[in-house]
Amino acid sequence: MTHPKNALNAYCQKLGLKKPRYDTKGTGDEKEPLYISDVVIGDEVVATGQGSSRREAERVAAELALEALKGRFGEPEARAKKRTDGNRRARNGDADERAPLIPELLVESLRVAHERLPQGVKGTEAAEQVVRL
């Protein structure tokens, strides 16, 4: 299976997006370290992940960023069809249905999710529980 960071790099390259960079910061103490990693593409924070190691936080962030970008742009092969459909909608006067990304709302949502998750839940399990919140 492809590592999420490699998959994200390949996806961005196919779409002609800038290469993702990771802004990772460590918090917590030695017994329970917590790393928070933002995936930044261009000037936009696309996703934020957390983990007990820098590597885990970046992996989770890459998974979430890839999911977010696929939700926004779709698969690269399917993108041409979406543009055609979008052009058809625009000619018919229909509005674009994508919601805007609001960084403040995203940050607050992640803060609340972090507070509500049981201590010790990590990685994919944590992401799945956040989706269910």
pLDDT tens digits for range 79-116 = 555 444 544 444 445 445 555 666 666 666 777 777 77
Mean pLDDT for all residues in the chain: 81
As given in the structure block, the two tokens for residue 6 are 């490699």
- Which residues, including other chains, have CB under 8 Å from residue 66's CB and lie 6 or more apart? 4, 7, 8, 11
Number of other residues whose CB lies within 10 A of the CB of residue 69: 20
Q: pLDDT higher for 130 or 32?
A: 32
pLDDT tens digits for range 49-70 = 999 999 999 999 999 999 999 9
Which CATH number goes with the domain that contains 81? Answer: 3.30.160.20
Q: Is residue 9 part of a domain?
A: yes
Q: Is residue 68 part of a domain?
A: yes
Q: Is residue 127 part of a domain?
A: no
Mean pLDDT for 14-32 is 93
Q: Is residue 26 part of a domain?
A: yes
Q: How many domains does the chain have?
A: 1
Buried b / exposed e over 95-128, threshold 16 CB at 10 Å, is eeeeeeeeeeeeeeebeebeeebeeeeebeebbe
Q: Is residue 48 part of a domain?
A: yes
Which residue range forms the structural domain that includes residue 85? 4-100
